[in-house]
Amino acid sequence: MRRTIRNFILIPLLLAAGALGLFIAAIYAGIFGSLPDKGDWEHMETATASLVQSADGELIGRFFLENRTNLDYEQLPAHLVDALIATEDHRFYRHRGLDTRSMVRVLVRSVLLRDPNAGGGSTITQQLAKNLFGRERHGYLTLPVNKTKEIIIARRLEKAFSKEEILTFYLNSVPFGENVFGIETAAQRFFSKPAAELSVQESAVLVGMLKANTSYNPRLYPDRSLARRNVVIGQMERRGYLPPEAADSIQNLPLGLTYSASFSEAQTGYFLNVVKRETTRILEDVYEETGVKYHPETDGLLIRTTLDMALQQYALGAFRTHLGVMQSRLDAQYRTQAGRQQFERIVEREFQRSGLSGRGHEVRWQQVFSWDGIRADSLSVRDSLYYAMGLLHGGVFAIDPASGAITTYIGGIDHATHPWDQVMARRQLASAFKPILYAAALETGIAPCSYFDNDSLVITDFTGYSPVNHDGSYGGRYSMTGALAHSMNVPTFNLFMETGFEPVNRLWEEMGFSYPLRNIPSLALGTAEARIRELAVAYAAFANGGYLVEPYTITSISAPDGSIIYQNERSRPTKRVVSEETSLLISAMLREAVNNGTAASLRSRYGVNFPAAAKTGTSQNYADAWFAAYNPGLVMVSRVGASSPAVHFHSGTNGSASVLALPIVGMTMQQIQSDPALKQRFIRPFPSMPEHLVSALDCAAFEEKRFFDRLIDRFRDPTVTFEEEKHEEKPGLLRRLFRRN
C-alpha cells in the first residue's frame, strides 16, 4: 500500500521533473529562440547614438536606439543604489541572479492564493536581462519561456560581471518612459540635474517609477508619484538604509519636480524628423555606391544640418508668445453664450462624422497641451475632441532662397503631443496665392502699369459668384502694383480673366506645387491649397532671380573617425521658372506691400527697416492666416489656423493675416535686425532695378475714373460669363468699353 502511494506521488513528480528538464533543454537548444551571450550585450553597450548639429555647431538632437547616457558606478549616489536594492531586490548581494525565496513567494501568493499585492519575483539581474533583450511571444508558453530565459541570462550575467557592474548596467539601461532610458537621462528630464546630484527623495521618485514608468510619472501623475516615492522611502527605512526620523522627514517633503523636456522635443522635433528621413535616404545611396552600410541609431555619426539655431530660437519665441496670446482670444470668443453654442454644434458635427459617438463617455488619461504647460488629465473622448478642436495650430518655415538650405523649421505647437507637421499640411492659400498669378500675368506680357477695374461684378455661370474686396470698397482702377500691394480682389479677378488659366497653371506646376489647380473664378482670390514649404519655394524664385530651389537639411555626414561619408555639393539652382525681370517686378510690388500696403505693420509695429517684400493671405471666414516675407537672403513663411476650418475668429480684428500670422515673422525679423551675426547672414539688398523696369513701374497705384469712363460705366453690363471669357486673348476696345473684363 505504501509503495503504491509512493509511486502515485513519485511518478508524477518524476514526469514533471522530466518535462521541466526537457523544457529547459529546449530553451538551451534554441527551439524558442537563441540565447544571447556576452558578445551580444557588450555590443548593445557600445551602440553609439548619432549626433545632429545645427549650422552654427550646436547639438540639436540625437538618433538612437535608446535615449541614454552611461555612467560609471562611482558616479551613482549611494542612496540611489540603496533605494533600488531596498525596493526591487533587497537580497541582491546574496543571490547569483535568481532569488529562490522570492520565486516561491510569488508562486504561492500570486499563483495559488491569487494575491494581487504579492509583488514580483524578478531580481535586478533578471530585470536587466528583460530590459536588454525584451520578451518574445510563444502562445501559452510565453510567460514560462521568457521567465526561464531571463533566469538563464541572469545567471550568465552574474558569472560575467561583478555586482557593481550589474547595478551600473541596470541603471544605465532601465526605461523611465517618455523615450528616456537610464538614470542620468531621467535625472536630467525630471529634475534638471545630473544623477550624481540627486537628493534622497529625488532618487526615491525615480526608483519608484520602475514599478510602472507611466503610472508613476511625476509630471503626468504627481499624486501617484508622491505616494510611490514614500513607499520607496519606507522600504529604505525597513531595510536599514534610513533612520526612522530621516524617513519621516523626507516623506513630508513635496515632490519637487523640475521637469525639462528633451531638447529635440521642445525646439527641433519636427525638423529632426525631416533630417532623419533625409539621412536614411542619403545612407541608402551611400550603401549602393560603396557597399558600406551605416546605421544612424548605432554608428555614432555626426550629421551637420542647415538649421540656424539662433534664428530657430528667435522664431520659436515669437511663435509661442504670439500663439499663446491669440489662443486666449479665441478661447474668449467661444466662451460667450453664442460662441459656446456655435462651438458645441461644430464639435457635435465632427463627433458624428468621426464615428466615435458610441464611445463619447469613455475616459482615459492623456497628455493635454496648453501654453501654460503640458498636463495629464482624465478626459472623455467627447471632452478630448472638444478641447483639441479649439486649439490654434501653426507652422514657420524659412529657407535660404539662393541654395534651398532650411534655416528655420517649426512644424507645430508641441512635437510631443501634436506631432503632425503643419509645414507639410495643405491649406487654402488665400491672397498668398496672388503673387503667382501676377507673375504668370507678367510672363504673358501684361505691363506692370496696366490698370484693372475695381467695380463690382457678378459671374452669371457660377451661381452669381461675385468677388468682394476685403475692405468693401469699389470704384476706380488699380495698377498691378496697387492691386497686389493692397490685396484687392476685384482687380485681381480682372487680371486673371485677362491672363487666362493656362499660364497660371503652368507656372504653378513648374514651381512644384503638389495640389492641382481648378479653373474657377475664385482661384484668382486664392482657393488653391498648398503647403507652407511649397509657398516658401515659390517665393524663393522671386527672391533669387527666378530659379527653383529644392529645400534640404543636411550639409555633411561624418563617421566616428572623422571621415566624410557625405558632403552636400549642391551648386546654384539652374532651373528657371520665371524670368529675372518678372522676379524683380514681383519683388518691387511686394516691397510696396511692406511700405504702404497690407504688410505695412512689419515696419510700423515691428520696426523692420531693412528691404523686405511680403504678402498676407486670409482665407475664407478667417479659417487660415498666411504671411510670407523675404529678401535675397531669407524667405520666411508662417501660417496659423485651427485643425478644422469651422473653428476660426469671427472678424478680421483677430483673424486677418496681418494680426494672426504676420506678428510671428515680424517679431523674428525684429530680432534678426538687432542681432549683428544674423543681420550679416540673412539681410541682403535687393539687386538694382534696370532703368526700363523702374520706368515700367512708374505709375500711380490707384486712379479715379475720368468723366468719360464713368459715363460709359452706366451702359456696361455688370455681369461676366467666366466660361466664355477665360480662354480669350486681351479684349479689344469695344469690349473694354462695354464689358467689365
CB atoms within 10 A of CB 653: 10
Domain that holds residue 10: 1-31
Residue 62 has a pLDDT of 87
Sort residue 84 into left (φ over 0), alpha (ψ -120 to 50) or beta: alpha
- What pLDDT does residue 406 have? 98
Residue 56 lies in a domain: no
Q: 81 and 3, same structural domain?
A: no
C-alpha span between 546 and 536 (Å, rounded): 13
pLDDT of residue 735: 33
Q: 108-117, 361-370, 564-573, 628-637: which range is least confident on average?
A: 108-117
Residue with cell 531580481: 123
**pLDDT tens string 27-65:** 555 544 555 565 555 555 556 788 999 999 999 988 887
C-alpha to C-alpha distance for 258 and 190, rounded to whole angstroms: 6
Residues 15 and 107 in one domain: no
pLDDT, mean over the chain:
85
DSSP conformation class of 476: S
Q: Are residues 23 and 118 in the same domain?
A: no
CA distance 254 to 589: 61
Domain boundary (222, 251, 280) is at: 251
Conformation bin of residue 33: beta by default, left when phi > 0, alpha when psi is -120 to 50: left
pTM over 0.75? The answer is: yes
Domain end position, chosen among 251, 283, 310:
251
Domain of 705, CATH number, reads 3.40.710.10
Where is 302: in which H helix or E strand?
strand 302-305
DSSP string across 377-396: EEEEHHHHHHHHHT-EEEEE
Residue 333 lies in a domain: no
Q: Is residue 121 part of a domain?
A: yes
**Per-residue pLDDT tens digits for 173-194:** 888 988 788 899 899 999 999 9
Q: How confident is the model at residue 638 (pLDDT cuts 50, 70, 90)?
A: very high
CB 303 within 8 A of CB 52: yes
Element at 702 (helix H, strand E):
strand 702-703
176 and 245 assigned to the same domain: yes
Domain-embedded: residue 389: no
- Residue 681 lies inside a defined structural domain of this protein: yes
Comparison of pLDDT for 79 and 260, the residue scoring more: 79
Of 211, 234, 251, the last residue of a domain is: 251
Q: Residue 512 pLDDT more than 60?
A: yes
Q: What percent of the chain has pLDDT over 90?
A: 60
Any idea what DSSP says for residue 92? Answer: G
Establish if 148 belongs to a structural domain: yes
Residue 728: pLDDT band with limits 50, 70, 90: very low
Task: Say how far apart CA 446 and CA 448 lie, in whole Å.
Answer: 7
- Residue 738 confidence (pLDDT): 32
The number of distinct structural domains making up the chain is: 3
pLDDT of residue 321: 97
Q: Are 717 and 642 within one domain?
A: yes
Judgement on whether residues 18 and 78 belong to the same structural domain of the protein: no
CB 330 within 8 A of CB 649: yes
CB of 466 closer than 8 Å to CB of 472: no
Q: Is residue 717 part of a domain?
A: yes
581 and 710 within one domain = yes
82 in the same domain as 17: no
Question: What pLDDT is attached to residue 543?
Answer: 98
4 & 106 share domain:
no
Tell me, yes or no, whether 578 lies in a domain: yes
pLDDT tens figures, 111-166: 444 454 445 568 887 787 776 655 555 455 555 555 666 677 777 777 778 889 88
Say whether both 11 and 80 belong to one domain: no
Q: Are 72 and 26 found together in one domain? A: no
Each residue of 274-288: pLDDT tens digit? 999 999 999 999 999
Average pLDDT over residues 396-406: 97
Specify whether 407 is located in the same domain as 482. yes
**Grid cell locating 552:** 534640404
What whole-number distance in Å separates Cα of residue 627 and Cα of residue 620?
15
The residues, any chain, with a CB within 8 Å of residue 518's CB and separated by 6 or more, are 527, 528
**Least confident range of 139-148, 439-448, 501-510:** 139-148
Residue 15 has pLDDT above 60, yes or no: no
Share of the chain above pLDDT 70, in %: 81
Where residue 240 sits, what CATH number does that domain have?
Answer: 1.10.3810.10
